[in-house]
Structure 1
Amino acid sequence: MNRKLFLPLILGLMLCLSHGVIAQKKVVIMGSSTAAGYGATSYALSWGGLLESSFNVNTSDGTDTLFYNIAIGGYTTYEEMYTGCYVPPGRPAPDPMHNVTMALSYTPDVVIINLPSNDEGAGFSINETMYNLRQMYSTITASGAKCYITTAQPRNDYAVSQRQDLYDMKDSILAQFGTFAVNFWDDLVTSDGLNMLRPDRKDPYTDMHPNDLGHQFLFERVQAKNIFGFVVLPLQITRFNGQLKNTGTELNWHIEQQELNTVFEIERSATGLDFEPIFSLTSVTPNTSGDFAATDRNPLPGHSYYRLKVTEPARSLYSSIISINNNNNVLKIARLFTSNSASTVTADISSTKNELAIITLVNSAGVVLKQIKQYLTAPSTRISLAVSHLAEGKYYLKVTTAGNAQATRAFIK
């Protein structure tokens, strides 16, 4: 082959190969109205639009950053949580088209979450908001993506106490997420201590959104984070599960990039809302990955909810919540019958523990007619109650143990 022709061919091939290995980055923006660009005169002038333009200065090479904005105005942290997560009663369910699960479906390199104030307006506590943000952060970083959380933002349509809550939430987010927190507060807030949105940076049509200038400042805060730059890898909880074993609940978890003196706490709840620590372990090995295990030797009867709290020197995070149904502590009224003369009712109570119980006799209107204490002996205890004085009708026998296990069964006199 002619050397003059061969050299350009090789150079062209090298350019094609090098072009092919340049990875195309993906960014997902999640959140509510500010993330969606409200307040700016166009989306191109919103912080999200400005960020996209800053990365995509050349759209001819096919390697510019892809942006997906799935923010929805008015949304709270609950709508943004991952699909299938536990949602307390009275709270909105995750929206599968705009939540963490949808964000991860794009296989992003970076996810930015901007949920500045709607939780406060909905009456959710700061603890709720912070818990949800930690859950989302953990879910995203477990996938291998980076996650940045923006702070609360000031708004003028809230009462003084609500604006103070937003200020406190800003501090909590900065302390919790450190390098991965983006300060969306300081450039927008007034300097008079009232925690209001500055007039020169406020959309003239609303009391809650930044204008073009305000969005410019927010963009600069995100830009300063160098979101694709090198950072120390955060600790990741890649697995947390549990199973019944013998008479206890065995819990297992896997951690990546733990620091020295990282503290692991297992927390348990009967409702999935109020958690209490039942186990604690401190790691003495830095910058490693590892498997850990703990056993709840006295699990609650019925359903127990567990989560893992991990506390590093600079921050804390939580695992997802898991539910374990403890079938080992079964309480059941196996048989319930009245005598031929209907003078007594007899119950055979099955239990797996020897413990004190309260036996309650209730009529169909829910009125308690009689209540006695009875010590139950596993596997079965028989009791009899006099019912000759009762009128004909439907009644209920209820058994409640000291461990709060319950069983109820109806009978006809």
Structure 2
Amino acid sequence: MCLLLAVLSACQKSTFIDPQPAQPFTPVKEVAQSPLVVILGSSTASGAGASDYKHAWAGLFSSYLNKGKIINLARGGYTTYHILPDGQEGLVAKRPSADTLRNITAALKLHPTLMIISMTTNDVANGYSVDEVMYNLQTIRRIALDNGVKRILITTSMPRKLNAQATARWLQQRDRTMRAYEQDAVNFFDPLADADNLFQANLTPDGIHPNDDGHRLLFKQLVSRLE
């Protein structure tokens, strides 16, 4: 119950202005509802890079959540476009359609207390702008708040070896996410990055995903936002 109260009481206003700001709420009793967490994300959120899902940041969080449940809808290769709501198909040329089984619409049908959105590097790697990433995240967050989700944590980008232009965009994505969402932003970049803003070699098996040690650092970053 302590975690649920922490999740509910820790809501902070972001620097984005929502058309309909979330209204104050009253924490529910544990007998009526245990916290339900839904994760929307891509490969790292799905556990890629870890030796086993239980060592991934999402798996570690599942063990940490004493009374409650996590439903992980993340899938490798996904971008912010994949998790936009139903009905967004074809609105932006040459961009993926929403996955109706793993997007914000599907997540809201589960009635989560807490939502974690972790879209780290795929948008930029596919050539999408940081403006697109931020707009999509804002859209998804607003829909979640309007539909009763008590808190939405949004992770930043992560380091990844691709090219200098992509690294600059991932740094921009990190900084804009931290500014926009303040206490609801989870810094997944800095704990993994070396002096060149690439993945520390000892924390990744492939330069793209964290290994067990890297996932453990991300888990600690996540939990720090709930304490």
How far apart are 1:21 and its partner, in Å?
A: 2.3
Name the residue aligned to 1:123.
Answer: 127
Distance 1:121 1:20 in 2: 42
What is the CA-CA distance between 1:85 and the residue it aligns to? 2.9
Aligned 8 A contact 2:104 2:144 in 1? yes
1:339-391 alpha-carbon deviations (Å, 9 max, x no partner)? xxxxxxxxxxxxxxxxxxxxxxxxxxxxxxxxxxxxxxxxxxxxxxxxxxxxx
SS at match of 1:138: helix
Listed as ranges, the gaps of 5+ residues in structure 2 are 1-28
CA RMSD of aligned residues (A): 1.4
CA contact (8 A) 2:201 2:207 kept: no
Q: 1:20 to 1:33 in 2, by over 3 A?
A: closer
Aligned to 1:51: 61
* Whole-angstrom CA distance in 1 between matches of 2:68 and 2:56: 17
- Aligned partners of 2:64, 2:152: CA distance in 1, in Å? 19
Task: Using the TM superposition, give the Cα deviation of residue 20 of structure 1 relative to its aligned residue in structure 2, in angstroms.
Answer: 7.2
Match of 1:30 among 35, 40, 47: 40
1:40 aligns with 2:50: yes
Give 1:201's aligned residue: 203
Asked whether 1:113 is paired with 2:123, we answer: no
Query: Superposition pairs for residues 154-169 of structure 1, below 5 Å?
Result: 154-156=159-161, 158-169=162-173
In structure 2, what is the equivalent of residue 66 of structure 1? 69
Structure 1 residues 218-264: Cα deviation after superposition (integer angstroms, max 9, x where no partner): 000111111xx7xxxxxxxxxxxxxxxxxxxxxxxxxxxxxxxxxxx
- The alignment status of 1:82 with 2:85, answered yes or no, reads yes
The SS at the match of 1:147 is: strand
State the 4+ residue runs in structure 1 displaced beyond 2 angstroms: 19-23
The separation in 2 between residues aligned to 1:121 and 1:220, in whole angstroms, is 26
The 2-side partners of 1:140 and 1:148 are apart by 11
Cα 1:161–1:28, aligned 2, differ >3 Å: closer, same or farther?
same
Residue correspondences, number: 197
The alpha-carbon deviation at position 195 of structure 1 amounts to: 1.3
Larger radius of gyration: 1
CA offset at residue 129 of structure 1? 0.8
- C-alpha separation in 2, matches of 1:27 and 1:112: 7
CA distance in 1, matches of 2:30, 2:158: 41
Please state which structure has a larger fraction of its residues in strand. 1
* Distance across 2 between alignment mates of 1:142 and 1:45: 33
State the secondary structure of the residue aligned to 2:85. coil
Letter aligned with residue 202 of structure 2? D
Q: Distance in 2 between matches of 1:196 and 1:84?
A: 37
1:302-313 to 2 correspondences below 5 Å: none
**In proportion to residue count, which structure has more helix?**
2
Task: Give the secondary-structure state (helix, strand or coil) at the position aligned to 1:29.
Answer: strand
Equivalent residues of 1:164, 1:195 under 8 A apart: no
Structure 1 residue ranges without an equivalent (≥5): 1-18, 57-63, 230-413
Structure 2: distance between partners of 1:23 and 1:209? 34
Q: In the TM superposition, what are the counterparts of 1:236-275 in structure 2 within 5 Å? A: none
1:151 matched residue in structure 2: 156
Q: Percent identity?
A: 35
Q: Is the 1:100–1:140 contact (alpha carbons within 8 Å) kept by the matching residues of 2?
A: yes
How far, CA to CA, are the matches of 1:166 and 1:20 in structure 2?
39
What is the rounded CA distance, in whole Å, between the counterparts of 1:54 and 1:142 in structure 2? Answer: 28
What's the offset of the Cα at 1:22? Answer: 5.0
- Secondary structure (helix, strand or coil) at the match of 1:95 reads coil
5 Å-filtered alignment, 1:296-307, equals: none
**In 1: Cα distance, 2:177 partner to 2:35 partner:** 26
1:28 is paired with a residue whose SS is strand
Q: Give the alignment's TM-score, normalised by structure 2.
A: 0.84
The match for 1:180 is: 184
